[in-house]
Amino acid sequence: MTELAKKIEAERINSGLTKVELCKKIGISFQTLEKLKSGGNTYPSIIRRVANYYKITVSKLYELKSTDAD
27: domain CATH number is: 1.10.260.40
What is the pLDDT confidence band of residue 5, given thresholds at 50, 70 and 90? Answer: confident
pLDDT at 68: 47
Number of residues that this document lists for the chain? 70
Number of domains in the chain: 1
pLDDT at 70: 42
pLDDT tens for 10-66 read: 999 999 999 999 999 999 999 998 888 887 767 889 899 999 999 999 888 877 654
Look at residue 39 and tell me if it is in a domain: yes
Specify the DSSP class assigned to residue 2.
-
Q: What's the pTM?
A: 0.77
Residue 10 near residue 68, CB atoms below 8 Å: yes
Look at residue 41 and tell me if it is in a domain: yes
Look at residue 69 and tell me if it is in a domain: no
Look at residue 68 and tell me if it is in a domain: no
31 is in which domain, residue-wise?
A: 3-63
Question: Nearest 5°: phi and psi at 18?
Answer: -80, 170
Residue 61 near residue 54, CB atoms below 8 Å: yes
Look at residue 70 and tell me if it is in a domain: no
pLDDT at 54: 92
